[in-house]
Amino acid sequence: MNGVPISAFLALALILFCIGLYGALTKRNTIIVLISIELMLNAVNINLVTFSKFGMVPSITGQIFTVFVIAVAAAEVAVGIAILLSLYRNRRTVNTDEMNTLKN
């Protein structure tokens, strides 16, 4: 276990976060955006777990938080899919380009 340094965990989380961010900002399909957000959340989870092990004061708190995040993420996806479905029913599309009601 000692062989794997903290930087490796953080790098993995960073890469995962960036992939998620890229997907969330550029993908047109809302489903993929949602999946990308999941990636970002999981990157955060990795960070939390990492610091709970390697932090200044190692403790269980970080891992508990991870469980919270997973739970919240699940709920969020559920709500998100629900909104998406109703949007699809109304607009016949899940394309983010066409979702610009914020402007008007």
Q: Which of residues 9-68 bind another protein (CB under 8 A)?
A: 21, 24-26, 33
Minimum Å distance from CB 100 to another protein? 3
Using the minimum distance from each CB to another protein, give the nearer residue, 37 or 73.
Answer: 37
- H/E element, 31: helix 30-54
3-class DSSP state for residue 93?
coil
- Which is nearer to another protein, 2 or 100 (by Cβ)? 100
Let me know: does 13 contact 44? Beta carbons within 8 Å.
yes
SS3 at position 12:
helix
3-state secondary structure of 20: helix
* 96 interacts with another protein by CB under 8 A: yes
Q: Shortest distance, CB of residue 2 to another protein, whole angstroms? A: 31
Is residue 103 a contact point for another protein (CB under 8 A)?
yes
